[in-house]
Amino acid sequence: MRVLAILTVRNEGSFLLEWLAHHRAAGVTDFLVFSNDCTDGTNAMLDRLQAMGWLTHVRNDAHAEKGPQWQALKLAAGHPLVRAADWITVIDIDEFINIHTGDRTIPALLAALPAADAITLTWRMFGNAGVETLRDEPVTASFTRAADDPLDWPWRAVMFKTLYRNDGRFGQPGVHRPKGKATPDQHWFDGAGRPLPGGPQRIFSRLGETNHSLVQLNHYALGSMEGYLVKADRGRANRDASAFDLGYWVDRNLCHVEDRSILSLDSSALRAGLMADPVLGDLHRAAFRWRQERFLALMRHEEWRALFARLLMTPPTRRIDAAEARKVWVHGLGN
């Protein structure tokens, strides 16, 4: 069985090896990686990984107005790896599939849901939890405070990506789900194993209900405060107008409970093997230094210092309960 992950990156070299090692351990057999406008050495890392047989790298520097991710997915639609895949998912470098059944791999998840043609991988937000400085350490071990499950608000914290069967019943790859409306011959299930007749109606999962009993998508959207500035400077992959600002931070800085479950899938040997390669190891370290230097360069400007200070002043986001969430929802019911 061939499981394909499609990834778009820009200046993400310091995170790349952990992400690849984890998802190979989780059962991803093929990686199709698009890079755009990289200045931290990510392109060189991807070229080396391609030479080692780990992935396929496509440079996507000349992208369309909608953003590099949309252009990448358009290019991916006709790629031989997409045509050859049995299952496909489109996930980002700060998203890690975390399976809670069997040996914690994608084959185990599919065995638990044998009737599924598509499975929603609902985000579980992992907050900053007061980490200020950049660290050259695995993200999955550095950030272990997460959102509650269930969660009543915000809906942006329970958006999902999709793992879907590539048998012709779905459209081209999309950011959150394959393109096109769900059809009666598609059998959708959510991360709690519940069937979704007619497919999901939105791109977020159920608020106020458990969504992660079989699988969750750990989303490390914030990282350290220093790293967040570098991320904000980079910008969004799929829409230029939506900024990484304090509002984005508050919606995602959810630190209600500890969750170390992802560490039960051990990818350390794979990661160590990649780091031991003399080319990749040096490029990884250079990419981390680039990130440190970029943070210092940003801090020479008042607007970035102001954002950093606001991050320091902002505590982890308070949990909104169901009654409070209804006060928000009820005013939008007629819209």
Q: What does the DSSP 8-state code read for residue 316?
A: P
In angstroms, rounded to a whole number, what is the distance separating the alpha carbons of residues 161 and 176?
Answer: 4
Give the residue extent of every domain in the chain: 95-332
In angstroms, rounded to a whole number, what is the distance separating the alpha carbons of residues 203 and 220?
Answer: 19
Position 178, amino acid: P
- The pLDDT, as a whole number, for residue 241 is 38
SS3 call for 90: strand
Q: Tens digit of pLDDT for each residue in 162-206?
A: 999 999 999 999 999 999 989 999 999 999 999 999 999 899 999
In angstroms, rounded to a whole number, what is the distance separating the alpha carbons of residues 106 and 27?
Answer: 5
In angstroms, rounded to a whole number, what is the distance separating the alpha carbons of residues 270 and 255?
Answer: 29
Write the CB contacts of 19 (distance below 8 Å, at least 6 apart in sequence).
7, 93, 96
Q: Two tokens at 144?
A: 């272990």
- The pLDDT, as a whole number, for residue 138 is 98
Q: Tens digit of pLDDT for each residue in 99-157?
A: 999 999 999 999 999 999 999 999 999 999 999 999 999 999 999 999 999 999 999 99
Got the DSSP string for 246-294?
Answer: HHHHHHH---SEE--GGGGS--HHHHHHHHHSHHHHHHHHHHHHHHHHH
Q: Which helix (H) or strand (E) holds 80?
A: helix 80-84
Residues 169, 186: contact at Cβ < 8 Å? yes
From the list 223, 234, 241, 261, the residue with the least C-alpha distance to 26 is 261
In angstroms, rounded to a whole number, what is the distance separating the alpha carbons of residues 59 and 174?
Answer: 19
Position 281, amino acid: G
pTM of the model: 0.95
